[in-house]
Amino acid sequence: MPCDGSAAGDESARKLTHQEFGKLTVFPAREIITMCEAMPTATAVAVGGGKIVAVGTMDTLQPWLDRYEYDVDDRMKDKVLMPGFIDPHVHPSLPAVLTQYPFLAPTTGRFRPASSPARELRSPTWPRSTNWLRPTRTGRCRSSRGATIRCGTDT
């Protein structure tokens, strides 16, 4: 959706460049923070086909509402919405680095039964910290990679 104010109003609804939406759902809210300089706040958002199709006020959404069937969902009328925010507390660099390791982010979303992610990783470049692989001078033994793999296997 463009961030130039054209998402709400007559022109977008008249020039049907979008797919035909079965039915729109309009969510009025106390305030919608759009994160768009041209329209930093709004009070209504129209959703169709699983996508945001228009943001503005009920008046500026009227061309969309004239063209499509719609339902008004008032559950958020007293709330502040922040479309586009998936997780307000995310460190983008951390998942970018860590999700490449299969034991942290399996592609299926779950591990296979009776297996260990560490055992599946055969690479000698297995990520590790500097302190937990060797015995200390005091005789206390820290874990080795082999012990870690044995402990990590599902039984």
87-130 pLDDT tens trace: 555 566 666 666 665 555 555 555 455 555 555 555 555 454 44
Residue 4's alpha-carbon distances to 13, 65, 152, 153, in angstroms, are 15, 21, 53, 54
The answer to whether domain 10-81 has CATH 2.30.40.10 is yes
Render pLDDT for 44-67 as a digit per residue (tens, 0 to 9).
Answer: 999 988 888 899 999 999 999 998
Tell me the average pLDDT of the chain: 68
Check the CA dihedral 117-120-123-124 and report its sign.
positive
Take residue 105 and report the two structure tokens written for it. Answer: 């982010």
Distance of CA 25 to the CA centre of its chain: 21
H or E segment at 63?
helix 62-67
Place of tokens 């500026």: 60
Contact in structure between 21 and 12 (CB atoms under 8 Å): no
Strand partners, 72: 26
Q: How confident is the model at residue 37 (pLDDT cuts 50, 70, 90)?
A: confident
- pLDDT confidence of residue 52: 86
Contact in structure between 45 and 54 (CB atoms under 8 Å): yes
Query: Distance between terminal CA atoms of the chain?
Result: 50
142 pLDDT more than 70: no
- pLDDT confidence of residue 133: 44
Gap between the Cα atoms of 94 and 90, Å rounded: 9
Q: How confident is the model at residue 131 (pLDDT cuts 50, 70, 90)?
A: very low
Strand partners, 26: 46, 72
Domain boundaries, the chain: 10-81, 91-155
- pLDDT confidence of residue 102: 56
Is this structure's pTM higher than 0.85? no
